[in-house]
């Protein structure tokens, strides 16, 4: 049984902290996202402890979960933010986040997004191509500003994760090949509307070993030293995010293990003066959330048993997109009677790819409530309205209290801005 620390069974009913998930589903309906506030704090604490006495800035990778309530928790804890769009910038500003602790990543920044970030005064633009560098220089010049930049370099390191979330190989769209970085840095340093401040690297997601980070770090150290020999001195080294979480039987890498190894290398190389920037997303929120869904029908056939639930791929895309594995728990487990049947947990969307879990041994009856675990990251943020399905409500639990942090969408809201021709 795989249940995150802040989701535990009490009196044979799964709870988030001290709140019954069955009670939440009864009050708010399903599908329903439920987050644990304490889980967010405890995940952050692992980074706080690892950073003590060190020059480290943790910038939450908010693409994992951008609900304002989640962002506000991390802001209050002292986090910066890693953004990838002008919309994410607007969210950080909406909760009063410090622009000076924002790093702006992403391969396709538009002019309006660059302008908004320059106006806000972000800490750094993580530039991912020479074309982007030149556009940013032009925009900054037109605004009479100097844009702080780092180059996201691609070290061609295999993070040993799913191909869709591996970002540090030569064939990936992200970053500038490390072999080309020197020339691009020299061009950036020569542009008066740019200020070179750092180097950035992000090799992938759901990484559970320190070795890929150290492989990338070796290449980054060589680049930093070569830049210094040319008179280009950096202020920070951004190692990105990517630390994995436990979905099933993984043994995740801890922030302390990562930073201990990173600072050991930097001290050996005379680079301990650099600020380290980290961009964790999944490891801060992944195990802080669950998706509640109710069994609508059970369908038995010679080849398969299906539990058809009211959540679908529009609510949780990861299984369809990445073949991702999520633990599925009955909120009120039934006693097994003989051999336990195995079910594919599927949704009502008209796609064969609409599945949430496969071949799970479960004692189920129609109407049972299920919790899809580890659904705090890349879950609601990837949700859509496919099949004209309202997106689920989001609730945050704080001890014995539950707060709706996003109400369920109404059917009318889905097409309220659409028009028809006369």
373 found inside a domain = yes
Is residue 174 situated within a structural domain?
Answer: yes
Of 265, 280, 295, the residue at which a domain comes to its end is 280
Asked if residue 160 belongs to a domain, the reply is yes
- DSSP secondary structure string for all residues of 95-136: TT--GGGEEE--S---HHHHHHHHHHT-SEEEE-SHHHHHHH
Of the residues 224, 247, 280, which one is the last residue of a structural domain? 280
Judgement on whether residues 272 and 389 belong to the same structural domain of the protein: no
Q: How many independent structural domains does the chain possess?
A: 2
Do 228 and 376 fall into the same domain? no
Q: Which domain holds residue 175?
A: 105-280
> Is residue 394, in this structure, part of any structural domain at all?
yes
Name the token pair of 353: 């790819």
* Last-in-domain residue among 232, 265, 280: 280
Q: What is the mean pLDDT of each run of 10 residues along the chain (422 residues)?
A: 80 98 98 98 98 97 98 98 98 98 97 98 97 98 98 80 44 78 97 98 90 92 97 97 91 95 97 97 97 98 94 98 96 90 97 96 97 98 98 98 98 96 96
Using a 10 angstrom Cβ sphere, with 0-12 exposed, 13-18 middle and 19 or more buried, the burial of residue 163 is: exposed
| Same-domain status, 123 and 272 | yes
Tokens of 129: 């191509």
The whole-angstrom separation of Cα 213 and Cα 221 is 12
Q: What is the pLDDT of residue 166?
A: 45
Question: Is the Cα torsion angle 47, 1, 318, 13 positive or negative in sign?
Answer: negative
Residues 228 and 254 in one domain: yes
Residues 256 and 167 placed together within one structural domain of the fold:
yes
CATH of the domain at 394: 2.40.37.10
Q: Is the pTM of this model over 0.85?
A: yes
In a domain, 144, yes or no: yes
Same domain, 120 and 172: yes
Q: Which of 59, 124, 201, 350 is catalytic?
A: 350
Long-range Cβ pairs for the range 338-342 (8 Å, 24+): 341/300, 341/305, 342/305
pLDDT for 164 equals: 40
Q: What pLDDT is attached to residue 228?
A: 97
pLDDT score for 162: 40
Helix (H/G/I), strand (E/B), else coil: 220: helix
Give the CATH number, domain containing residue 241. Answer: 3.20.20.10
pLDDT at 249: 86
* Residues 234, 184 share a domain: yes
- pLDDT value at position 332? 98
Q: Where are the beta strands (DSSP E) in 160-267?
A: 176-177, 194-200, 236-238
- Are 139 and 261 in a shared domain? yes
- In angstroms, the CA 402 to CA 182 distance is 52
Please check whether residues 132 and 272 belong to one and the same domain: yes
Give yes or no: residues 116 and 264 share one domain: yes
Active site residue 350: yes
Q: Are residues 213 and 295 in the same domain?
A: no
Which pLDDT score is estimated for 3? 63
Kindly state whether residue 60 falls inside one of the protein's structural domains: no
User: In which residue are the tokens 């479960």 written?
Assistant: 362
* pLDDT value at residue 169: 46
3-state secondary structure of 302: coil
pLDDT of residue 160: 56
Residue 151 lies in a domain: yes
Domain membership flag for residue 21: yes
Sign of CA dihedral 247, 208, 323, 176: positive
Tokens of 18: 């001290």
165 & 243 share domain: yes
């Amino acid at each position: 049984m795989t249940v995150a620390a802040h989701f535990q069974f009490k009196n044979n009913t799964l709870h988030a902290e001290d709140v019954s998930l069955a009670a939440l589903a009864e009050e708010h309906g399903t599908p329903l996202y439920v987050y644990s506030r304490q889980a967010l704090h405890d995940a952050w604490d692992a980074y706080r402890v690892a950073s003590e006495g060190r020059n480290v800035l943790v910038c939450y990778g908010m693409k994992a979960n951008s609900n304002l309530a989640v962002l506000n928790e991390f802001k209050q804890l002292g986090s910066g933010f890693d953004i990838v769009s002008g919309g994410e910038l607007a969210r950080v500003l909406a909760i009063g986040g410090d622009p000076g602790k924002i790093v702006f990543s992403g391969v396709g920044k538009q002019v309006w997004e660059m302008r908004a970030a320059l106006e806000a005064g972000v800490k750094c633009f993580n530039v991912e191509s020479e074309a982007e560098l030149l556009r940013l220089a032009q925009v900054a010049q037109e605004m009479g500003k100097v844009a702080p930049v780092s180059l996201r370099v691609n070290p061609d390191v295999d993070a040993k994760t799913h191909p869709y979330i591996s970002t540090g190989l030569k064939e990936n769209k992200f970053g500038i090949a490390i072999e080309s970085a020197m020339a691009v840095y020299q061009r950036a340093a020569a542009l008066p509307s740019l200020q070179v401040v750092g180097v950035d690297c992000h090799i992938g997601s759901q990484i559970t070993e320190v070795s890929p980070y150290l492989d990338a770090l070796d290449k980054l150290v060589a680049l930093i030293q070569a830049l210094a020999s040319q008179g280009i001195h950096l202020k920070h080294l951004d190692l990105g995010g990517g630390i994995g979480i436990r979905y099933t039987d993984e043994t995740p890498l801890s922030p302390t293990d990562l930073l201990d190894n990173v600072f050991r290398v930097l001290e050996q190389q005379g680079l301990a003066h650099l600020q380290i920037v980290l961009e964790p997303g999944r490891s801060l929120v992944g195990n802080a959330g669950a998706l509640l869904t109710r069994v609508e029908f059970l369908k038995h056939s010679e080849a398969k048993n299906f539990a058809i639930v009211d959540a679908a791929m529009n609510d949780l895309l990861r299984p369809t997109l990445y073949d991702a594995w999520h633990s599925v728990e009955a909120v009120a487990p039934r006693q097994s009677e003989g051999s336990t049947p195995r079910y594919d947990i599927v949704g009502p969307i008209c796609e064969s790819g609409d599945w949430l879990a496969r071949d799970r041994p479960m004692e189920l009856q129609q109407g049972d409530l299920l919790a899809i675990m580890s659904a705090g990251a890349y879950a609601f943020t990837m949700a859509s309205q496919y099949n004209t399905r309202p997106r689920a409500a989001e609730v945050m639990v704080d001890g014995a209290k539950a707060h709706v942090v996003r109400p369920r969408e109404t059917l009318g809201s889905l097409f309220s801005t659409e028009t028809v021709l006369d």
